[in-house]
Amino acid sequence: MTARIIDGKAVAERVTAGVRDKVAQRIATGRTAPGLAVVLIGENAASQVYVRNKRKTTDAVGMQSLAFDLPASASEEQLVALIDRLNGDRTVSGILVQLPLPKQIDVERIIERIDPRKDVDGFHPYNVGRLVLKLPLLRPCTPYGCMQLLAETGEPLVGRHAVVIGQSNIVGRPMALELLMARCTVTICHSATYDLPGIVRQADIVVAAVGRPSFVQGDWIKPGAIVVDVGINRDAGGKLVGDVDFPAARERAGWITPVPGGVGPMTIATLLANTLRAAELQDATN
């Protein structure tokens, strides 16, 4: 068996094209283009690349890309003051503070400071809480993008056993909530899980989000399973790889996402969709 590839780049292009069309319709009816404020603290090389790609794609769909770059020495109060200003700015539909933040800044305080209606990352406790209650508004970008990739397979999800490897607030936990909402039976695994390979071997759906190159071995994969690899890592030779040993897993899985070209493009596409959604929510309440 050789797994079929879930082409995240192609799905992301469709999502992005849909956002572009809706933004054009907004402008044609006299409404303003959604504005995405992206805040970057410091000069982390990876963060600079992510932010550059986000700003470029925001411009490409006709949204306003608003850049706010602060030095690595910026204080927590400086960042809080900027967020307060963006919360009150009607031209700003969405606010994204690029993570990680410098050590002097409390990440949780910053996340909670963002107006939930402008929380296009979907990290605010209000938005996560709505996901828990099956009443989602702005959904965490990467997990929601993964759900769209699962839908792309055409495989039924109801009743399937899904194993999520990783319990972070950014991917693992909201991913489990998304899968539960799709009526999967969900197991969350982490560093203290007993017999991780044995649990993964039971999974119809595997979502790997541990941040360790080629951590999930091919013989862990149940024949025919769907494998979604969220990881983006560099191996010893500098090659970009995921959390799953792709060549070995592909020989057992039914469907698999590649790295690059799988989950990564969906995160940005879903961010844009969230920004449009945020603009619509604010139109309805302003």
Cα 167 off chain centre by: 14
**Annotation marks residue 121 as catalytic:** yes
* CA separation for the pair 277, 35 (Å, rounded): 12
Is residue 206 within 8 A of residue 256, CB to CB? The reply is no
Rounded alpha-carbon distances, angstroms, from residue 119 to 76, 113, 163, 191: 18, 10, 27, 29
98, 115, 167, 229: which is the annotated catalytic residue?
Answer: 98
* CA separation for the pair 175, 164 (Å, rounded): 7
Is residue 206 within 8 A of residue 216, CB to CB? The reply is yes
* CA separation for the pair 31, 9 (Å, rounded): 30
Q: What b/e readout covers 87-105, taking b as 16+ CB neighbours within 10 angstroms?
A: eeeeebbbbbbbeebbeeb
Contacts of 136 (CB under 8 A, 6+ apart): 127, 130, 181
**Annotation marks residue 98 as catalytic:** yes
22, 115, 119, 121: which is the annotated catalytic residue?
Answer: 121
**Annotation marks residue 119 as catalytic:** no
Active site residues: 54, 98, 121
